[in-house]
Structure 1
Amino acid sequence: MDIGRVGVWTRTDGMALGEAIELAQQIEALGYGALWIPDAFGRDPFVHAACLFEHTQRLVIATGVVNIHLREPQATACAWRALHDQSGGRFLLGLGVSHQTVIEGMFGRAYPRPVPSMRAYLDAMEKAMWWGPAIDADPPIVLAALGPRMLVFAAERTRGAHPYFAPPSNTRRSREIMGPDAWLCPEQKVLLEEDPERARARARQAMAGPLTMPNYRRNLMRAGFAEHELDDGGNDRVVDAIVAWGGPEALVAAVDAHLEAGATHVCIQPLDPDDATRPSLKTLEALAPRLGVGAE
């Protein structure tokens, strides 16, 4: 599977299905290697991926990421292999352990230790029954990983890691932990807005949810930020580390920073300056030639 150096991470739940299909086709036409879609109380990512495969030719569809606590491993294993078969090998399964505040607070379930629970889940997927067409080898999996133990496990057990909400310094540390061979696919928010006040206001809107999550906060503190810098929407230093804003060259520089730090593939999340419900196609169009994605 070739996912290229740069893909797109975005939510399409605020868009009509036809608009989401058109967006995937536009992303493919621009030359981006993959479209990463979340599992976040909207469209089912497996159903949505199957639909998008029917309307694209080369684009890899990746889940960023499927919540293992809400899906039985048998069901996930069958969906994973079925989508690999239906797409001609264009499906990349991203799995994650979600957040303690979500699993306990929203669903009233105990939140088990992350690495042991992921290990047990992958063990169960390996043992899952599959009566579908023969597959030469299991398709790739990546894991949502920020802390060192999950990063090591991702490198040992799967194709690699998909860190979310982390600066380029995290990518460098992750590569050192994982070694040279594992895939490392960080997400990077980008905002085509050159006015500092407007840019940071929109960035804080996008960062509000993640900054309430203890695991993201811990990871930013590992990256050198003080806890007080993360409060009240994050100070400017935190905002500028998480959301690349400015003109096209500033956004390209953020992507390059991840690649130079050891990323295999960077998933850019193109924030629209005026609409939080959909991605910015204008940003993707502006960045594609500068990133050289169509030339890969």
Structure 2
Amino acid sequence: MPSDNDARFGRIGIWSSALHPSEPAGVEAVSAAVAELDSLGYGTIWMGGSPSLDQVVPVVEATRHITVATGILSIWDHQAPAVAEQAARIRRDSAGRFVLGLGVSHSGFNPNYARPYSAMVEYLDALDAVADPVPASGRVLAALGPKMLKLAAERSAGAHPYLVTAEHTAEARAALGPDALLAPELTVVLDTDLDQARTVARGMLSMYLQLPNYTNNLLRLGFTESDFADGGSDRLLAALFALGDAGTVRARVDEYVAAGADHLALQVLSGDRRTELPLAEWRTLAEALELTPRA
């Protein structure tokens, strides 16, 4: 019998930082793109980076069935009472299709970054204290370590880990328990030229390897400092990415599902441009993963 998580999030979603354009001219293209993701049968749109809830509204308005989630909204950049008020309005307008993804981001991005676990607890308390609170079922946490994963299971629908391996997914499932949502992000490069695919992957990964939250997590998983040199070792890339054709992506998805993921949020890299909308690749993956189109 399908679980509630299957029904709400689907097995496969799309993560993209291009879905909250900084210029008004980009809204029309994004609206058309998310409408197509909805029709292709994807279960969830993850608005990557650190979107505002104002940027969520046009995506919700352009879609009919698909769940729309922030992946993630930084708790340092948005006051909890205002977030709760706007999230309640979006939930009502979307018939419950909106999920608030929250995270503590990184110290290098936020001058107020301190005590991230305690800050998240306080933020959740603030969301719960307003007149129309964000329900636990309507939020997920960007969680990597054991404490934040436990908090995700206790105070939200579950966890949305970013830049993780299948091995981490198995550990996260054990920490979350059997019922909480586990929706890791998996980055994809659809290119059968493995050297070129690795070049694209390293172009994206090099930035994240400067952020201790990610490198510390990878060190816990058994990687070493040498794996972080020059944009990432081949073994690190193989563990973190799906590099190759659509069949390779499908096999990697199966690995994460076997490790305990309910849902995979696929981030597709196209060339060295992370801000474009890779429509052709999204269509290819929808067919390869046998998604059910929607009218």
Q: Provide TM-score, normalisation by structure 1.
A: 0.91
What is residue 3 of structure 2 aligned with on the other side?
none
Task: Trace 1:203-214 onto structure 2 (pairs within 5 A).
Answer: 203-214=201-212
Determine if contact 1:33/1:293 at 8 Å carries over to the other structure. Answer: no
Residue 8 (str. 1) matches residue 14 (str. 2): yes
Q: Write the distance in 2 (CA, Å) between the matches of 1:20 and 1:283.
A: 16
Residues 151, 138 of structure 1: alpha-carbon distance in 2 compared, 3 angstrom cutoff: closer
Question: Offset of 1:289 from its aligned partner?
Answer: 2.4
Contiguous gaps of at least 5 residues in structure 2? 1-6
Secondary structure, aligned partner of 2:108: helix
Q: Write the distance in 1 (CA, Å) between the matches of 2:44 and 2:115.
A: 30
- The amino acid that maps onto 1:6 is I
* RMSD value, Cα: 1.9
What is residue 231 of structure 1 aligned with on the other side?
229
The alignment of Structure 1 onto Structure 2 pairs a total of residues equal to 284
Question: Offset of 1:139 from its aligned partner?
Answer: 5.0
Question: Offset of 1:136 from its aligned partner?
Answer: 11
Contiguous gaps of at least 5 residues in structure 1? none
Secondary structure, aligned partner of 2:46: strand
Q: Write the distance in 2 (CA, Å) between the matches of 1:246 and 1:39.
A: 25
Q: Write the distance in 1 (CA, Å) between the matches of 2:260 and 2:54.
A: 32
What is residue 75 of structure 1 aligned with on the other side?
82
Residue 277 (structure 1) aligned to one of 275, 278, 283: 275
Determine if contact 1:95/1:144 at 8 Å carries over to the other structure. Answer: yes
- The amino acid that maps onto 1:3 is F
Residues 143, 284 of structure 1: alpha-carbon distance in 2 compared, 3 angstrom cutoff: same
Task: Trace 1:112-261 onto structure 2 (pairs within 5 A).
Answer: 112-130=114-132, 140-261=138-259
Q: Write the distance in 1 (CA, Å) between the matches of 2:177 and 2:131.
A: 33
What is residue 288 of structure 2 aligned with on the other side?
290
Residues 223, 265 of structure 1: alpha-carbon distance in 2 compared, 3 angstrom cutoff: same
Determine if contact 1:39/1:67 at 8 Å carries over to the other structure. Answer: no
Question: Offset of 1:137 from its aligned partner?
Answer: 6.0
Determine if contact 1:11/1:279 at 8 Å carries over to the other structure. Answer: no
Determine if contact 2:187/2:269 at 8 Å carries over to the other structure. Answer: yes
Q: Write the distance in 2 (CA, Å) between the matches of 1:209 and 1:79.
A: 32
- The amino acid that maps onto 1:27 is L
What is residue 47 of structure 2 aligned with on the other side?
37
Q: Write the distance in 2 (CA, Å) between the matches of 1:20 and 1:162.
A: 23
Secondary structure, aligned partner of 1:294: coil
Q: Write the distance in 2 (CA, Å) between the matches of 1:213 and 1:190.
A: 21
- The amino acid that maps onto 2:8 is D
What is residue 57 of structure 2 aligned with on the other side?
50
Residues 288, 272 of structure 1: alpha-carbon distance in 2 compared, 3 angstrom cutoff: same
Question: Offset of 1:172 from its aligned partner?
Answer: 0.7
Q: Write the distance in 2 (CA, Å) between the matches of 1:289 and 1:54.
A: 25
Secondary structure, aligned partner of 1:209: helix
Q: Write the distance in 2 (CA, Å) between the matches of 1:95 and 1:154.
A: 10
Determine if contact 1:204/1:234 at 8 Å carries over to the other structure. Answer: yes
Residues 193, 39 of structure 1: alpha-carbon distance in 2 compared, 3 angstrom cutoff: closer
Secondary structure, aligned partner of 1:32: coil
Secondary structure, aligned partner of 2:271: coil
Q: Write the distance in 2 (CA, Å) between the matches of 1:74 and 1:190.
A: 36
Q: Provide TM-score, normalisation by structure 2.
A: 0.91
- The amino acid that maps onto 2:223 is F
Residue 25 (structure 1) aligned to one of 18, 35, 44: 35
Please list the CA deviations of residues 48-83 of structure 1 after superposition, one character each: whole Å capped at 9, or x if unmatched: 221112121101110000000111110111111111
Determine if contact 1:89/1:139 at 8 Å carries over to the other structure. Answer: no
Question: Offset of 1:94 from its aligned partner?
Answer: 0.3
